[in-house]
Amino acid sequence: MQKQTWTIKSIISWTSNYFSEKDVDAPRISAELLLGSVLDLSRVNLYINYDKPLSDSELKQYKTYIQRRIGGEPTQYITGTQEFWSLDFKVTPSVLIPRADTETLVERALAFISTCQQTPLNILEIGTGSGAISIAIAHELKERDLQIKAIDISEDALKIAEENATLNGVAEKIEFLLSDKFNAVSKSEKFDLIISNPPYISEEFYDKLESKVKDHEPKLALYADEDGLIFYREIFSAGHGHLNEGGCILIEIDHRKKDDLISLVDNEKYSAPVFYKDLPGLNRVLEITKRSTSQE
Ligand code: GLN
């Protein structure tokens, strides 16, 4: 960068070109998010202040952010935030960065909940990570009498999730619990809805992940041994005993595993799986409902 007075406008345009040359994805948005984080301005406010010059210290901090992004670090871990369901979430390398595709899971959960009469309605989330899914649901249904238990195997992730629940004003609706799948959930506890975006990248696909994901996001939240289906096996089998009659499991999937997942579902215990697509058109969410006639 030459010595000159940089304005918000000129530095965004310089960075977008530089990021494009260096094959950084979403070059302009990344530049705007990084600069917005340095200046504590939303993207809209950057536009309003287009001609504002940057101070030396702002420029210095921004340069370190650019270097980190060029080094492969995801923008969200540099700014420490990600938007999901139009809410702001704190993210660190201890949690997966919430994906827009996962909003499909929130949509389906809200659709299911709208058909339920129970009060309170009990929801279990397995592997909450940043807390994005549970927090989005609780925030959307502020008036509804519902209780969410959100569990994770990572203590560091739970700390972030708790902070995010407080930041978004839903802390009283969600109980966070350290648990490896159902281990810390009492045997007799039942839920109307079990939701999860479990780790599902199989051995075969993990090595092929882009380095932005593989080298920076937590393997614990992405990788599932061998065929990538271990969490589905456990959640389908143990989840059945934790569901109320008519209760349902909504779970994010790798679209390439649809057929394997169909054969994993026990038809005596659950209805035939229904699949929902994300915005790009890929099967993203599987729904199964506990059969009301089933014996336990
Ligand atoms: N959808 C994520 C990805 O492709 C994976 C999420 C997960 O394993 N649960 O990076």
How far is Cα of residue 54 from the mean position of the Cα atoms in its chain?
33
pLDDT at 293 over 80: no
The fraction of the chain above a pLDDT of 90, given in percent, is 95
92 confidence band (pLDDT: 50, 70, 90):
very high
The fraction of the chain above a pLDDT of 70, given in percent, is 98
236 confidence band (pLDDT: 50, 70, 90):
very high
What average pLDDT is seen over the chain? 95
Measured in Å, residue 200 CA sits from the centre of ligand 1 at 7
Distance (Å, whole) CA 217 – CA 94: 7
CB of 227 closer than 8 Å to CB of 147: no
Residue with the smallest CA separation from ligand 1 atom 6 is 222
- The confidence score (pLDDT) of residue 292 equals 80
3-class SS at 159? helix
Task: Give the tens place of pLDDT for each residue, 195-220.
Answer: 999 999 998 899 999 999 999 999 99
pLDDT at 87 over 60: yes
Greatest alpha-carbon span in the chain: 75
Residue with the smallest CA separation from ligand 1 atom 5 is 222
pLDDT at 186 over 60: yes
Task: Give the tens place of pLDDT for each residue, 18-34.
Answer: 999 999 999 999 999 99
Measured in Å, residue 160 CA sits from the centre of ligand 1 at 19
- The confidence score (pLDDT) of residue 294 equals 45
What is the residue type of 21? Answer: E
Residue to mutate, 252, 282, 286, ligand 1, most ligand atoms under 8 Å from C-beta: 252
CB of 78 closer than 8 Å to CB of 68: yes
Burial label for 270, CB within 10 Å (0-12, 13-18, 19+), is: buried
Residue to mutate, 25, 96, 227, ligand 1, most ligand atoms under 8 Å from C-beta: 96
Mean pLDDT of 25-54: 96
pLDDT at 58 over 70: yes
> Global pTM?
0.94
pLDDT at 110 over 60: yes
